[in-house]
Amino acid sequence: MWNLHRLFQNHARELNRFFRRRGHNAETAADLTQDTFVRVLTATPQTDNNPRAYLHQIARNLSIDLYRRERLFQQSDLAEDEWQRIADTTPTPEAVVYDRQRLAIIESALLELPEKTRRAFEMHRLDEKTIAEVASELGLSISRTWTLIKRAYLHLRQRLKEDASF
């Protein structure tokens, strides 16, 4: 059996150069060199007479395997907008359940609010009206309308925090 330490000392630089000549960067060449010796360590060679040839055969195979893997990724090199068009935007079942639970909490919390506070919040948030429009419709000052909407937000946030599953 071969002395792995001696093989590494005698052939590691040579294998690293081999990988560099095949177009791999320095970091990848170093990784592939180590992988070559790991393969020697874990695989029993079929022949005992030419360790250098055996190392080069392993190195060649590792290099080819890496290029094949990289080519698979390059073939699917789509632009970001193309990925967005084919991506599945359907929420997961867990996300649907989570969102429904949160919505139920929010609906319940809205019903707990005083009528004016709830209406101010719904007009601003759901009907997308400005604070001035909400104030005008409810017959309130702008500062009072801000206060009501802020209280609604704080109440909803508190209710969501109180639920232990969120």
Instruction: Give the domain range for residue 142.
Output: 93-162
| pLDDT reported for residue 145 | 96
The answer as to whether 84 is a domain residue is no
> Taking the C-alpha atoms of 120, 125, 126 and 129 in order, what is their torsion angle to the nearest 10 degrees?
70
Residue appearing with tokens 């309130």 = 140
| pTM, entire model | 0.47
Same-domain pairing of 50 and 113: no
On whether residue 83 sits in a domain, the answer given is no
Alpha-carbon gap, residue 50 to 72, rounded angstroms: 34
Evaluate if residue 14 carries a pLDDT over 90: yes
* Main-chain phi, psi angles of 24, to 5 degrees: -85, 145
Name the one residue in this structure whose structure tokens are 């937000």.
153
Query: In the chain, how many domains are there?
Result: 2
Q: Is the pLDDT of residue 166 over 90?
A: no
pLDDT digits (tens, 9 = 90+) for 82-130: 767 777 778 889 989 989 999 999 999 999 999 999 999 999 999 999 9
Same domain, 15 and 57: yes
Q: Measure the N-to-C terminal CA separation of the chain; round to a whole number of Å.
A: 61
Average pLDDT, the chain: 88
Helix (H, G, I), strand (E, B) or coil at 49: coil
- Same domain for 98 and 69, yes or no, is no
Question: For 29-74, how does the pLDDT look when each residue is reduced to its tens digit (9 = 90+)?
Answer: 999 999 999 998 888 777 778 889 999 999 999 999 998 888 776 6
Of 42, 75, 108, the last residue of a domain is 75
In a domain, 85, yes or no: no
Q: Do 55 and 111 fall into the same domain?
A: no
Indicate if 21 and 53 belong to the same structural domain. yes
Q: Are residues 67 and 102 in the same domain?
A: no
Q: Is residue 81 part of a domain?
A: no
Q: Is the pLDDT of residue 25 over 90?
A: yes
Instruction: Give the per-residue pLDDT at 74.
Output: 62
Residue 138 falls within a domain, yes or no? yes
**CA distance linking residue 131 with residue 15, whole number of Å:** 71
Does 68 share its domain with 98? no
* CATH code where residue 129 lies: 1.10.10.10
List the structure tokens of 163: 């639920």
Q: How far is CA 88 from CA 78, 85, 92, in A?
A: 15, 8, 10
Q: Does residue 151 fall inside a structural domain?
A: yes
Residues 72-81 have pLDDT tens digits of: 766 566 676 7
Q: Two tokens at 165? A: 């599953």
Tens-place pLDDT, residues 137-153: 999 999 999 999 999 99
Residue 67 lies in a domain: yes
